[in-house]
Structure 1
Amino acid sequence: MESTSDPARREVTPLELFFDLVFVFAIGQLSHQLLAHPTWTGAAQTLVLYLAVYAAWAYTTWAATLVPAEDPRTRRMLLAVMFVGLFMNATIPRAFDDAGWVFVTTFLLIHLGRAVWLLTVGLDRVNQEHFVRVLIWFAAAAPWWLIGAAAGGGARLAWWAAATVVELAGTWTAHPLPGRRLDSRDVTFAGGHLLERGRLFMIIAFGETILTTGTALTTAPYAPMTLLTSSVALAGTIALFWLFFSRSERVVRHYRQTDDPIRAGRSGVLSLLISVAGMIAAAVADERVIAHPAEHAGTTTNLLLFGGPAVYIATQTWHGATLFDDLRWSRAIALLALLAGGLSTPALPAYLAAATAAAIVIALVAFEHLRPHTFPFQHTRSTP
């Protein structure tokens, strides 16, 4: 058993996994939201809600990495966020209808409250100064959320989208202020713990994806076509799972050896953000195909079928390039194949389009499994 006294090798606690369940519930809610509103507006609404929900999970997880979950103060914080988060996530289907104020109020209570809490727990000087800036960025975005809740229709989407842009900009740039930026090198941070939190959350998210496929299977007629499309959906999910975890040992080694674990952690959090979004798109596509396998795929289904895995693979490729400076030409070819498949199959029956998308991802997995050390674009970096 790893020692919890080593900040780089702390185990994930049962409370942290219990906390995750509220946000995995949100993944299901978001999938149903997109399935019920398969339009550009519906996709934009789902994306805005997803970014808010993910921010609530990610920043809370980061906080519990800075202050271990074994600390009674952190346990109370996690339970409080879990309690409020359940109500926030339950409002997702009606956030752009009559539950806008509930969604925003619970989100801001989590977001601002957690940042204030971090400033009271005795962080080191670097992190204390950093989270003062984080709180300023959160406070700057808060009016946009509140104005959006007071607005209606398309105006709410516009205001909330502006708020998410502010928050994403802060996250991407590490919340700078004039003359003040985060210098994260050599700051003590349990990067390995954050990595394991992300990996376990991903496993639970895959479970939600399989649950979506299983639910679609139980509601569809038990016919050969239903069995075929469900098998294709499950095979594609397994392939995506393999792609995410195929480099586990290498990623773990990097987190243990890097002299900038906060930079690696930020890269991992952003990678997880986009990867889960791609999974949601793929899960919604699978459900649409299982329900209507013989209909023409069409533009919407194809964007989800091919776009979800493409976003997922592109993100994993970017993350590998960020950590290791390697770019696999096999993944570049797979992305081109997904683009070509998405453009060429809208007029085909949905089950054929789904089989094409799954075949591309499975072929990538097979190639990388058979030739795991083929990295023609790889460069050398001192770590790992």
Structure 2
Amino acid sequence: MPVLMRARGRAESHRASTPLELFFDLCFVVAVAQAGRQLVHALAEGHPGHGVVGYLMVFFAIWLAWLNFSWFASAYDTDDPLYRVVTLVQIVGVLVLAAGVPRAFTAGDFRIVWVGYVVMRLALVSQWLRAAHDTRGAERRTALRYASGVTLCQIGWAALLLLPPADAPWVFIVMGALELSVPALAERDRPTGWHPHHIAERYGLFTLIVLGETVSAATVAVQSALDEHHDLAVLLPIAAGGLLLVFAAYWIYFAVPIHLHLRSNQQAFLWGYGHYLVFGSAAAIGAGIEIAVEESAGRAHLSAHAAAACVTVPAALYLVTVWLIHSRHQKRGPAQQLVLPVAAVAVLACTFAGSAAVLAAGLVAAVTVAVGITLTARQGTALAEE
């Protein structure tokens, strides 16, 4: 007898990510790596405008695909054979999307990316239709609205294939806004049963995957430079500073239990949408470290300060965004609240350190973590004394 797709409860205990969800996330590493690699090529060749705009568009496509699946799975994960097969079909779409990233980035040709999206969206719509078939009343209407909204948006993305490449950024802005409005419209009568602890874990795991890809990209860049007999004394500060930045990024993100903040759709959606900048900036740090290595080896067509900015700007953006949507909800008092914004300004200032910028930014990030730990410990001591 087939399993009915019913909503899972928000108060469900021991709700954790499934092996299928983890497998789904790992397949996104390919797409994230492709986006980062194309950003490195564009920046190293001295095309920052094209590189940044292309990266923002491609990463939005990657992030949106992951977001669509993650929130549905948090509400309706039956984990039966049919659900697993449909999810594996979505993974096929992810891999097709990843294959199309280089062509979309360099030539503005989104045909392969769009085909990958069609595969993912057909699978996702079938999941929503299954949920609508197995439910009644307001819950059924919510599922049907999601199915309709996703379908209409996918048709809208066809504009990328019909309009000139120069119009692609405007298409992304319009379609991105429409995509992000679908959940609010679909859930206006009845919210889906997403689970706060589960969705917080899912976002945390994807943050780890992106940071892991950053470490991998930076390691390959340093290894490549060493293989070409470049001076270890020049590369070591970049490697050390980059590693400190990634370690600090991990520590800062996981310093607070965010699931306690996710009590309503409005809070959860703003937090979830803000992760576009968290994930994108975290991945861009790795690309920036690669650029710094390329510049130190004399293979990049940009100055030392410009190469430094490729690291410090995404690192500062990461700090500010994590504070704005994530950390500040658990901070108490002006001292704790100011740590990350001040650190972001200090990291940006490291841009002017030139070839020592990455190490300087890494040291600032490490000091930021130490200050945060100290302030938290003092607050705990003060509360205990009361």
- TM-score normalised by the chain length of structure 2: 0.81
Residue 244 of structure 1 and its aligned partner are, at CA, apart by: 0.8
For the pair 1:66 / 2:78, whether they are aligned, the reply is no
The answer to whether structure 1 residue 101 and structure 2 residue 111 are counterparts is yes
Specify the alignment match of 1:378 in structure 2.
none
Shift of 1:22: 1.3
Task: Report the residue type matching 1:35 in the other structure.
Answer: V
- Asked whether 1:57 is paired with 2:66, we answer yes
User: 1:372 and 1:82, CA in 2 relative to 1: closer, same or farther beyond 3 A?
Assistant: same
Q: 2:272 aligns with which of 238, 262, 269?
A: 269
Q: Which residue, out of 285, 291, 294, partners 1:291? A: 294
Which of 27, 44, 53 does residue 53 from structure 2 map onto? Answer: 44
Q: Does 1:31 align with 2:36?
A: yes
Question: What are the equivalent positions in structure 2 for 1:209-220 lying under 5 Å apart?
Answer: 209-220=214-225
Distance change (3 Å), C-alpha of 1:340 and 1:230 = closer
Q: Is the 8 A contact 2:109 2:165 kept in 1?
A: no
Work out the number of aligned pairs and report it: 353
Indicate the residue corresponding to 1:132 in structure 2. Answer: 144
Q: Aligned residues: percent identity?
A: 20
Give, in angstroms, the shift of residue 161 of structure 1. 3.8
| 1:243-280 Cα shifts (integer Å, max 9, x gaps) | 11111xx324x16xx653x4454344224322111112
Counterpart for residue 15 of structure 1: 20
Q: Matched residues in 1 for 2:378 and 2:312: separation?
A: 25
Give, in whole Å, the separation in 2 of the partners of 1:226 and 1:324: 38
Could you tell me which residue of structure 1 aligns to residue 361 of structure 2? Answer: 357
Q: Is the 8 A contact 2:319 2:341 kept in 1?
A: no
Gaps of 5+ in 1: 376-384
Q: Pick closer, same or farther for the CA change 1:328–1:132 going to 2, 3 Å.
A: same
CA displacement 1:199-221 (0-9 Å, x = unmatched): 22222222111100110111003
CA pair 259-53 structure 1, distance change in 2 beyond 3 A: closer
Q: Secondary structure at the match of 1:368?
A: helix
Structure 2 counterpart of 1:190, which letter? H
- SS of 2:184 mapped into structure 1: coil
**Pair 1:205 & 2:205 matched:** no
Alignment CA distance shift 1:86-1:211 (3 Å): same
Give CA-to-partner distance per residue, 1:89-109, whole Å, 9 cap, x none. 111011253852121122133
Distance 1:336 1:297 in 2: 19
Match of residue 224 from structure 1:
233
| Greater shift in the superposed pair: 126-135 or 208-217 | 126-135
Match of 2:251 among 231, 242, 266: 242
Distance in 1, Cα, partners of 2:145 & 2:170? 25
Where in structure 2 are the equivalents of 1:315-330 lying within 5 Å? 315-320=321-326, 323-324=329-330, 328-330=337-339
Is the 2:159–2:171 Cα contact (8 Å) retained in structure 1?
Answer: yes
- 1:54-75 per-residue CA deviation (whole Å, 9 max, x = no partner) reads 1111111111111225233321
The aligned amino acid for 1:108 is V
The match for 2:101 is: 92
Report deviation, 1:292. 2.0
Residues 190-241 of structure 1, C-alpha deviations (whole Å, 9 max, x = no match) = 2211221222222222211110011011100352211221111111111111
Give SS of 2:158's match.
helix
CA–CA separation in structure 2 for the residues paired with 1:68 and 1:276 = 24
Q: Tell me how far apart the structure 2 counterparts of residues 126 and 360 of structure 1 sit (CA, whole Å).
A: 51
The equivalent residue for 1:379 is: none
Aligned partners of 1:352, 1:371: CA distance in 2, in Å?
A: 29
CA–CA distance in 2 between the matches of 1:85 and 1:216? Answer: 26
Shift of the 46–71 alpha-carbon distance from structure 1 to 2, 3 Å rule, reads same
- Equivalent residue for 2:284? 281
Q: Distance in 1 between matches of 2:143 and 2:244?
A: 43
Task: Judge which range, 332-341 or 136-145, deviates more.
Answer: 136-145
Gaps of 5+ in 2: 1-7, 380-386
* Structure with a larger share of its residues in helix: 2
Conservation of the 8 A alpha-carbon contact between 1:148 and 1:157: no
d(CA) in 2 for partners of 1:265 and 1:333? 26
Which segment is superposed worse, 268-277 or 320-329? Answer: 320-329
Paired with 2:108 and 2:322, the residues of 1 have a C-alpha distance of 37
Q: Is the 8 Å Cα contact of residues 134 and 175 (structure 1) preserved in structure 2?
A: no
Residues 368 and 43 of structure 1, relative CA distance in 2, 3 Å threshold: same
How many angstroms apart in 2 are the aligned matches of 1:93 and 1:363? 38
Q: Partners of 1:123 and 1:66 in 2: how far apart? A: 13
Q: CA deviation at 1:373?
A: 5.2
1:380 is matched with which residue? none
Aligned residue among 315, 319, 324 for 1:313: 319
What is the root-mean-square deviation of aligned Cα atoms in Å? 2.8
Q: Offset at 1:130?
A: 3.0
